[in-house]
Amino acid sequence: MKTKLLLAIIFFSSLFFLGAKKSLATHAQLACSPTTSTLEVGETITTDIILNTRSYKVTGAYPILTYTSTILDASSATLEAVTEDTGWSAPTKKTVDATTGKIEVDYGKTQDEFTSTGTIARVTFTAKKAGNANINFVFFSEYDDTTAGVAKVWGEKTAGVTSNILTDIVDCAYTVTGEEETTPSPTLPPGVSPTSRPTSLPKTGTWEVTMGIVVAGIMVTLGGWAMKRVY
């Protein structure tokens, strides 16, 4: 009797834990890597955007991210789509808005099925100012199919139905040290401001007056000498 009771407890406990594991299972994840880093002003860093399907059938993704544009510069950086891991075709949208600090890579929802983990995009940032910079996915809640402008991963949560199966994200945080390079200002004499203009010197002065007197004296002397010669 005790043996039967023990077996029954083990059986129902197994069912409970299996059910709990299934309920805790998550669907697709988007992550950026490296998640943390420290770099100097002027240094560049390449960030991978990684899709983890968690073995679900994924047929497309639309990662949308924001970054601290006052600290990181992507205006002249390269944003490249990476399709080697997924075998997908090129995305229909691949943009960087350096003014608002926004990145978008849209692969649509009709790509070949992908059930593994791989990089789907790569962006290179340049550190332009000291401070703390964040790179965040635009994500509010799992399976969000109604909010416009949020990141999505397309797959089959329910067999035969394609929907957004993104459940969680991993953001990045970078620290930039050093000082922004500036052009050194010229050294000015004491009391002179950068906006002041030089004052023109007068065309007449003590030297000019003295020379005039000397020339007049010479002319009078020469005149007297000439008069003596005449008489």
What's the CATH code of the domain at 112?
2.60.40.680
In a domain, 207, yes or no: no
Q: How many helices (H) and strands (E) does the chain have?
A: 2, 15
* Residue 132 scores a pLDDT above 70: yes
Output the DSSP codes for 191-216: T--TT--PPPPPS--HHHHHHHHHHH
* Predicted confidence (pLDDT) at residue 231 exceeds the cutoff of 70: no
pLDDT-based confidence at 12, cuts 50/70/90? very low
Q: For residue 215, is it within any domain? A: no
What pLDDT band is residue 209 in, cutting at 50, 70 and 90? very low
Domain presence at residue 71: yes
pLDDT at 74: 78
Nearest to 182 by CA among 74, 40, 39, 41: 41
H runs (alpha helix) in the chain: 2-24, 206-230
Of the two residues 109 and 229, the one the predictor is more confident about is: 109
Residue 135 lies in a domain: yes
Higher pLDDT among residues 47 and 188, named by residue: 47
Question: Is the per-residue pLDDT at 18 higher than 50?
Answer: no
Residue 186 falls inside a structural domain = no
Q: Does 208 reside within a domain?
A: no
pLDDT of amino acid 78: 74
Alpha helices per DSSP H over 40-151: none
Q: How far apart are CA 47 and CA 37, in angstroms?
A: 10
Is residue 58 classed exposed, middle or buried when 0-12, 13-18 and 19+ CB atoms within 10 A define those classes?
Answer: buried
pLDDT exceeds cutoff 90 at 56? yes
Residue 81 and residue 95 in contact, taking contact as beta carbons nearer than 8 Å: no
Higher pLDDT, residue 211 or 118: 118
* % of the chain residues with pLDDT over 90: 60
Of residues 98 and 62, more confidently modeled: 62
pLDDT in tens, 136-195: 999 999 999 999 999 999 999 888 899 999 999 999 999 999 976 555 555 656 665 555
Q: What is the mean pLDDT of the chain?
A: 80
pTM listed for this prediction: 0.68
* Number of domains within the chain: 1
Q: Of 129, 136, 120, whose CA–CA distance to 173 is shortest?
A: 136
Residue 87 to residue 33: CA distance in whole angstroms:
21
The domain in which residue 123 lies consists of 26-177
With respect to residue 154, please indicate whether it lies within any of the assigned structural domains. Answer: yes
Residue 17, pLDDT > 60, answer no
Respond yes or no on whether the N-terminal peptide bond of residue 202 is cis (omega within 30° of 0).
no
Q: Which two tokens stand for residue 32?
A: 């950026």
